[in-house]
Amino acid sequence: MKKIVLTGPESSGKTTLAAQLAANFGTVWVPEFARQYLENLGRPYVADDLLEIARGQMALEDEMAGKAKNGLVFLDTSLEVIKIWSQVRFGFCDEKIEQWHSQRFPDHYLLCLPDLPWAPDPQRENPNDRDVLLERYRKELREQNLPFNQVWGIGEERLANAIIAVNDFLKY
């Protein structure tokens, strides 16, 4: 099973692209567990909630991987997002999340550039520092020596760039 993660700052098109890629490659995609969790929380989230979000994300990934077709699954997010989110929001990341992150590396990453217009959403917090956050994602991927391609463009151009990156990855 090949797992490809779409990662990057908020409002960089990860969810849309994950769904489009899954449709293009005839498989499934894993939504972001945090969205569902936070919508049902009924209070502002705290650092401990990120542990539950990480657990839920891993469980959802495992569940959806069992439904994948063609030996391929796309993930709308992964543990590096929770790690960076925790560091930015709370100034630290729980060591359990760090540990899980170091044990569950997907096969490839698509780093979505924040070249799309900001789309307001009650769960988004960082409209003005997406470029700074992009650098944090790049740094994380490079420090962990994780394979990635950058994805850019608007609409069909973005999808086409992502498809090329996925096809290049699948060749090897």
**Which of 67-71, 95-99, 122-126, 148-152 is predicted least confidently?**
122-126
Q: For residue 128, name the pLDDT band (cuts at 50, 70, 90).
A: confident
Give bridge partners of residue 108 from the DSSP assignment.
Answer: 4
Q: For residue 129, name the pLDDT band (cuts at 50, 70, 90).
A: confident
Mean pLDDT (the chain) is 93
* pLDDT tens-digit map of 2-51: 999 999 998 899 999 999 999 999 999 999 999 999 999 999 999 999 99
How many domains, the chain? 1
DSSP string for residues in 98-115: HHHHHH---SEEEEE-S-
The domain that holds 66 is classified in CATH as 3.40.50.300
Q: Domain of residue 81: give its range.
A: 2-170
What backbone phi and psi angles, to 5 degrees, belong to 118?
A: -60, 130
The two tokens of residue 172 are 């090897």
Q: For residue 92, name the pLDDT band (cuts at 50, 70, 90).
A: very high
